[in-house]
Amino acid sequence: MGQDAAIPHFRQQLAIVEAAQGRFDSSLFDIRHIVQADLLDSELEAAEHLAKSKFFRAAGAVAGVVLERHLGEVCTDRQIAIGKKNPTIGDFNEALRAGSVIDIPQWRFIQHLGDIRNICDHAKTPDPTQEQVTDLLSGVKKVIKTVF
Q: Which domains does the chain possess?
A: 2-146 (1.20.120)
Residue 24: pLDDT over 70: no
**Which amino acid belongs to residue 46?**
A
pTM (whole model) above 0.85: no
The 10 Å CB-count burial string (b at 16+, else e) for 10-26 is eeeeeeeeeeeeeeeee
- Residue 97 phi/psi, 5-degree rounding, is -70, -45
Q: Tens digit of pLDDT for each residue in 85-118?
A: 999 999 999 999 999 999 999 999 999 999 999 9
- Position with higher pLDDT, 40 vs 105: 105
The 10 Å CB-count burial string (b at 16+, else e) for 70-95 is bbbbbbeeeeeebeeeebbbbbbbbb
